[in-house]
Amino acid sequence: MDAVPTEPAHQAGVVAYYDTTSHVFWHLTASDEGRRLLAMERRSAVSASRAVLDFDPGAAGPVHLEIAFEGASLRAYASLDGSSWSPLDVPVDVSELSDDHAGLLRFTGAFAGVATVDVAEHAWTAEFSDVSFVTSEPQLEDGQLQVVEAVPAGQASS
């Protein structure tokens, strides 16, 4: 992804999404002073939080983002060159991105994707390229779901 956000309202990145009230969004944005930074927004049916992440995306140039399941959690990774990957924060429990979370009537299922947001309605652009989704075929053994293959960060291919 390549983008030059100039204010906190500009956000572009990868998202694990249930709906507008339940999602985790790892994104490139800007500080109030216009410096690029990576942040994570986490919303559930009962709470919301936002944190700046310990990764310097530099002043310009592409930032590669990836999310990968680790059991019932998701972990995000970032890279400036597409080869050397750094984990962003800790794995995130994604049970809240479920039809069964918070005792509410919900039925959409969870999604993964890319997103660009401008909550201030100013014009800006984020360019996504080489987007891919890699999955493993689920396997059942004695009625239990088994993970067959995990793809290490930075090794997904299209």
CATH of the domain at 42: 2.60.120.200
pLDDT reading at 45 higher than 80: no
Average pLDDT, rounded, for the chain: 80
What is the band of 36 on the pLDDT scale with cuts at 50, 70, 90? very high
On whether residue 158 sits in a domain, the answer given is no
**Dist. CA 32–CA 116, nearest whole Å:** 18
Amino acid at 61: G
Model pLDDT, residue 39:
95
Lowest mean pLDDT among 72-76, 93-97, 106-110, 129-133: 106-110
On whether residue 151 sits in a domain, the answer given is no
Please give the average per-residue pLDDT across 38-50, as a whole number: 85
SS3 assignment, position 13: strand
**Dist. CA 117–CA 85, nearest whole Å:** 24
On whether residue 140 sits in a domain, the answer given is yes
Residue 133 tokens, joined: 């989704």
On whether residue 36 sits in a domain, the answer given is yes
Number of other residues whose CB lies within 10 A of the CB of residue 42: 19
**Closest by CA position to 97, among listed 85, 83, 111, 86:** 111
Strand residue runs (E) in 35-110 = 36-43, 48-52, 64-70, 73-79, 86-93
Residues spanned by the domain of 31? 2-146
On whether residue 14 sits in a domain, the answer given is yes
Q: How many domains does the chain have?
A: 1
Q: Which residue has the tokens 């989704």?
A: 133
